[in-house]
Structure 1
Amino acid sequence: MRIEDMSIDQLLELNQYICQRIDELQEQETLQALSQLRVGLKVTFEGREGPVLGIVTKINRKSVIVLAEDGTKQYKVSPELLRPLRDVK
C-alpha cells in the first residue's frame, strides 16, 4: 500500500507505531551508553562553546551530571553524548 493511498486513520496508526519504535531505539541507546559510565569516570562531550572535559558525579535514568575538570561548572548531559577518556600513561 502506498502512503498516498492511506486514510487519516491509517496514517495516524502508522505514526503511532513509528513513534513507539523510535522511543524503543532511543531507550536502547541510552541504556547502552549508561552501561559504559560510572561515577568518577573522566569524560568529554561537545558543549556549546567547544569540547568539555569533566568527571561523572551522578548517573540518573536519562541523564548524567558532569563536573567540569576545573570544578567551575556542572552539566546535565544525555549519556549518548558522553565519551569516556582513556588514561594516558
Structure 2
Amino acid sequence: MKQVEIYTSPLCGYCHAAKRLLSKKGVAFVEHDVSRDPSLRAVMVQRAKGGRTVPQIFVGETHVGGSDDLHALDHAGKLDALLKD
C-alpha cells in the first residue's frame, strides 16, 4: 500500500472526517499537524500547488486534495485502486 500523508490541524472537522475514512478502511497514514509547526504549512502549500486549507492529502506522490476529494474518490470506487502499490 502506498504511503498516505495528511496535513491537518486539531480543530478541523474535515481533517477528522478524512482520518475517520482512512482508519475505517484500515489505511495507515502519517499526520502532519501544521498548527504546531509553521514550517510544515509552507511545505504543505508547496506540495499542494498552493492549497492552503487543511486537510491536504497525499497518496504516494499523488495530491488527492481535501476531505471532500478523498470521499468523492471513495464513493466513485477509485480510492482503493489509488492506495495500491
Q: TM-score range with shorter-chain normalisation?
A: under 0.3
- Determine which structure has the larger helix proportion and give its number: 2
Q: TM-score, normalised by structure 2?
A: 0.27
Q: TM-score, normalised by structure 1?
A: 0.26
**Which has more radius of gyration?**
1
- Determine which structure has the larger strand proportion and give its number: 1
Report which structure shows greater RCO (CA 8 Å, sep ≥6). Answer: 2
